[in-house]
Structure 1
Amino acid sequence: MKNMKINFLFALVLLGFISCQPEENLVNDVGPSYDLYQSSDFNFEGKATFQVLANGEVELLVQLFGDKSNDPYFYTGHLHFGSFDQGDAPIAHALNPIDSRTLESRTVLGKLSNGKEFDLEAINDFDGHIKVHLADQGPDYNIILVSGNIGRNDNSREAFNAEQLTLCSPYFPAESF
């Protein structure tokens, strides 16, 4: 009888914990992942994973692999149109900052800067890339920690060359791509 009470209490606590999780944060489907390659002297690599949340929205999880910090500092990231080596590649979506303590960021992608909705079905045809900067402004903005192509662009290590990396265009497009 005592074991039944313990099992019942455990099940009740577990049910309470699960029911307290916000539905919009529950991952319904995991989409493609893309490698993010070291793009400067800073020893970071990463992964970008697209996920469909329970509410149908697409979330981009950016994970960096490298040294974590004990102090709060945030790296700036962008989803861009075009390949990583394309000059003046406009920003498609600003990403939530990557926390240096966890080396992660989650961003729900809705409309892109060109007004089009981002959905997981279109990711394989998307012409884009991701860049993560050391800072959000000043000279450290020009230091790109990691970058990598996504969608239809070649994401292989063989195709990546940090010397061909271009700086981020500071503008969002007015026209559609």
Structure 2
Amino acid sequence: MLQLKFRFFKYLLSAGLVLAVVSCDEDSQDLGDFTGNEITYQLFAGSGYNNEGYITFKERKDKSIQAEVTLSNTQAGGIHPLHLHREPIAADGDLVALLNPVDGKTGKSLTIFNVLGDETAFTYTDLLNFNGSIKVHLDDGLNKDEVLSGGNVGINKMSDTNVVSCSDFSTDL
């Protein structure tokens, strides 16, 4: 009887181990809409603000890019325009893409895109080689030049991180 209990326990343990391995293997391979390529960049507080965070770009299987922003210390009711600019954050580079604004209540934004404002195709590989930066603005009204937070992306990831205002702010791309 003891030997029968031991065999049952041995089979039960083996079955559990097989299920655990299969479950882990399935989870690691199921990427859904994504390729598994992603990169995260830090967003630094703008002058006079304490809003920091990060932006993560994920490559989707359809070759579009999903941009996810998380920003700290935002206020409910605030809507903060989010832009991709040419040049490092310390420069006053041209605005090339409007991303969905950061919601002040959650501090989050999610955008899926595959073209710039001028309809030029833009892929994850293009992003990695891009001479650019991300800027989160206070608003799109009187304070549109105020940058709450920003950071370098692409080839500028290690460049100067001093955030400057945005005097070329225009939504006419």
Distance (Å, rounded) in 2 between the aligned partners of 1:106 and 1:82: 22
Greater C-alpha radius of gyration: 2
TM-score of the superposed pair, with normalisation by structure 1? 0.70
Aligned partners of 1:91 and 1:173 also within 8 Å: no
- For residue 78 of structure 2, the aligned residue among 67, 73, 79 is 73
1:151 aligns with 2:145: no
Alpha-carbon shift at residue 92 of structure 1 (Å): 1.1
The aligned runs of 1:34-73 (5 Å cut-off) are: 34-65=41-72, 67-69=73-75, 71-73=76-78
Paired amino acid for 1:48: I
Instruction: Provide the secondary structure at the position in 2 that maps to 1:122.
Output: helix
Q: Is 1:133 aligned to residue 131 of structure 2? A: no
| Match status 1:85 vs 2:74 | no
Stretches (4+) displaced over 6 A:
none
Equivalent residue for 2:7?
A: none
CA offset at residue 168 of structure 1?
4.3
Are residues 113 and 120 of structure 1, via their aligned partners in 2, closer, same or farther at CA, if it must alter by over 3 Å? Answer: same
Q: Is the 8 A contact 1:129 1:149 kept in 2?
A: yes
Q: Using the alignment, how far apart are the partners of 2:74 and 2:91 within structure 1?
A: 30
Shift, 1:132, TM fit: 0.4
Taking structure 2 as the reference length, what is the TM-score of the superposition?
A: 0.72
RMSD (CA atoms)? 2.3
Aligned residue runs from structure 1 range 76-115, under 5 A: 76-87=81-92, 89-115=93-119
- CA contact 2:63–2:123 (8 Å) conserved in 1: no
**Unaligned stretches of 5+ residues in structure 2:** 1-31
Q: Aligned pair count?
A: 142
Asked if structure 2 preserves the Cα contact closer than 8 Å seen for 1:113 and 1:172, the reply is no
Letter paired with 1:161: N
